[in-house]
Structure 1
């Protein structure tokens, strides 16, 4: 009777039972093997790449099995909530094609039958489950203040005892129900703790879907269930929610692995079957020869906003993350160059068990492949969409010359080995600036890349001679023969063997002549096919460039 009195004193307005909620959240009507996963961020900051990595696994597992992927906002730590973080999460997920079947759709809106999908709106549910544990003698009020808990911890550390609130160190654990009631009636502050039935000498086994069998000591800590503000801790809330929402698979970072014994114990004391857990490897970065965790503070690429700002296509980031999730993706992509990346089935047991290395060089390689598979019109659309926000000058130039821009983006694109000039949209300006007089003539003489053995005076002589012979209407073979003839007249040779045997007899190779023509038109030594560039520019611009050179 006294436990009922205690429970009613703590939760006088809670009239429902956990059985009522179990009826309200029935078993989902899904096919055999369908997975129910959730992305459950705290709105304490803006999205980082690790969140997209985790959500991508959740989304793929659910969709590939014909299941449900939902968004739950875990906002029980309200002091740390950042304004706009929920909306940022939702827009980020949509931008990456990670569309939820259920969950939050805006700051205050949601869809689905298993909500509310914001934990701060589920307070009554947590109180009902907490009241249930009090009635079973598995939860109790703790009146220890922060100073007392700090003193306890310092004493335990000094005596080399495992720190924590458990066993003989759990001072409020053995208060009689009457003493607890008396303290509450006196107005003393308290939190609610689990009365752990665990013994650290016993072992608990977790069959982790990535790491395999992991063995821990059983949890014996009387963890906090409900904080002083009446809201639950992560430990308690996620167990209640994952059970009611019928989550089948919890995918989360390996930093939560050590909490698994607590969570398994909570499912056990509530009498619920736990979901399957998969703890993903921490995303690491190579830094001065050693690996470290990718840092939100130190590494710009940790923030999702970075990829939009520098212009990595969303698909490039997705494909790179799929490659981290399962290294077999790279082989699959090589065998299926034009398949939708979502046709690739991810497998948790094929994930790396240790830290996943995030490498921007590798991302750029993947992105070059992704962009090289796009049609010129798609490159134009995606580039101008990016440039409108991040490079307004290029946006104006490219959109004012739409037809030419599409020709530029189509250079060497349609063949079996398309060029891979761009890893991100920020690269485009440097690669195509020379098509636009507004940018080209801003360059100084020292930015012109000439062959090593050709000085500026000789370059001018070559261009003067070539400009006279140049025929815009010649086909590619004729064009090259004409270029070669000019070069030979000026003392250059097309015969590499002769040049190597008697270099003193020649000024250089015909390739040097072509390089000078390239430099006069583009200022660069490395560009796509010169003949094609000249035809995209048009005869008037080519002749103007020769004259001004």
Structure 2
């Protein structure tokens, strides 16, 4: 058994006792029933949309109970940290309106909120466990551990570091002292006391009572001594941090369910009150006839950056995610669902399908209710980060952009649903802007190619020569109708169908000549409204380009 004197020599001499940290971070003064929750992303990769899902629930639980919502960055795995990811976390929280009450960037009285900055706190508690013979140094090498695993597999026994396989658990103190004197790297392991076959149970706030085998593994709680800073594993760090930050409810992915037994052992060994857990079902993707977890490695829509880069509006995304929590929220209007209190006992447990088609429809519905000025502001904000050329054009052509967005929108009984996300603006509305619209003068690659080129150009020239920007929509369209009659087009599709050899087409084909000249497509918003938004000079410029072109 190692002496306390030797144990203490492994740690900084001025290390505080655990009681000092409890004094510095006292229980919070909050109303009865208040929830203090935390969201703990790791900067080893971009934030998963499931993280926004959990953070949204955290934020709601804290707000509706008078509690606190904390963001703590779990950056103990510094070898895998991706530069810039911490900043991406903050962008994501800002975009979705999920800024925490306390975090590394918001401040707070219970920090630091970066685990890499909490080394001294962890070491205090590790030393305490070692003094009480609840943790010990382990000098097993990777090669020894790999050989042990192979032997366990051959013997068909559970793999792990336990019982007779825990080769440093009860090593003679002289052997440990010798290893320390040699400077051999070591980790610190927790001494698990569960017996073979022992079962434990706990109540999950979402799933109810759950039973597992008790943890028998002597899990690593402090990483190798040859690393600096000396950081703990997730198991140990979260127990210390949640206690000292006075968290009383932990929401996390269901992959951590099987870790609850070891976490409870750590809380008990450290003398901390156990925390309530709520394990959230995974987000799924439909693949063929089955489903699997939404994966950042395989699925672009798994990353929060995808939603920011594509410009999905935050409100309908949050509405969609709330609907995945429970069907009753999906049946509410968006404003009511976003204001509703989330109840953990109504959360699903089998996984929720991320249907991007459904999300696109919700976004289109949402954008259709927005006035043109609000859409323009949102598109501009998005473009300033992701499409510099478009941002410059919108700044120079604000009036034109507003006229374009007003078409079949403001005050219209059935507003257009042609935008699902802000990145759709360029392909959908780009034709309104001269800088983005290539004039149509070559008929070969247009829908007009099926008409004789001389018919198209003659009609376009005649329209340009006679064009008047009339205010009345019917009178405006009559300009096309009258020209059609004199240029070999039938007055209606029925008339053309009855005698196709007598005409170039019907009034529909005549209208398409003007439509393609103005928009480059046979599908566009109301042609009159488009012409009014463009203005007479631009209408004439486009029509005359078609009339004068070659091809």
The TM-score, its normalising length taken from structure 2, stands at: 0.87
Offset from partner CA, 1:241-297 (integer Å, 9 cap, x none): 111111122122222222122112212222322222222233333345543333333
Indicate the residue corresponding to 2:521 in structure 1.
524
Picking from 533, 537, 544, the partner of 1:536 is: 533
Indicate the residue corresponding to 2:54 in structure 1.
54
1:351 aligns with 2:316: no
The residue matched to 1:158 in structure 2 has which SS?
A: helix
Offset from partner CA, 1:225-251 (integer Å, 9 cap, x none): 112234211101101111111112212
CA distance in 2, matches of 1:51, 1:31: 27
Indicate the residue corresponding to 2:187 in structure 1.
191
* Structure 2 segments unaligned to the other structure (5+ residues): 547-551
1:446 aligns with 2:412: no
Change (3 A) 1:456 1:54: farther
Change (3 A) 1:272 1:487: same
CA distance in 2, matches of 1:479, 1:387: 35
Deviation at 1:157? 0.7
CA distance in 2, matches of 1:447, 1:65: 61
Indicate the residue corresponding to 2:137 in structure 1.
141
CA distance in 2, matches of 1:190, 1:467: 85
Q: Which moved more, 1:465-474 or 1:512-521?
A: 465-474
Deviation at 1:163? 0.5
Deviation at 1:407? 0.8
CA distance in 2, matches of 1:21, 1:397: 56
Deviation at 1:508? 5.0
Deviation at 1:212? 3.3
The residue matched to 1:156 in structure 2 has which SS?
A: helix
What is the aligned length?
A: 539
Deviation at 1:155? 0.4
CA distance in 1, matches of 2:90, 2:544: 55
The residue matched to 2:209 in structure 1 has which SS?
A: strand
Deviation at 1:481? 4.8
Offset from partner CA, 1:112-141 (integer Å, 9 cap, x none): 111222222222222222233233332222
Change (3 A) 1:103 1:439: closer
Residues 284 and 293, structure 1, Cα contact 8 Å, conserved in 2: yes
Residues 14 and 127, structure 1, Cα contact 8 Å, conserved in 2: no
Indicate the residue corresponding to 2:100 in structure 1.
100
* Structure 1 segments unaligned to the other structure (5+ residues): none
1:172 aligns with 2:168: yes
1:492 aligns with 2:490: yes
The TM-score, its normalising length taken from structure 1, stands at: 0.88
Residues 200 and 219, structure 1, Cα contact 8 Å, conserved in 2: no
CA distance in 2, matches of 1:178, 1:6: 12
Picking from 162, 172, 194, the partner of 2:158 is: 162
The 5 Å alignment of 1:17-416 reads 17-105=17-105, 111-176=107-172, 180-181=176-177, 183-185=179-181, 187-229=183-225, 230-333=230-333, 336=334, 339=335, 342-414=338-410, 415-416=412-413
CA distance in 2, matches of 1:379, 1:122: 44
Offset from partner CA, 1:363-415 (integer Å, 9 cap, x none): 32222223222221222222233334443443343332221111111111122
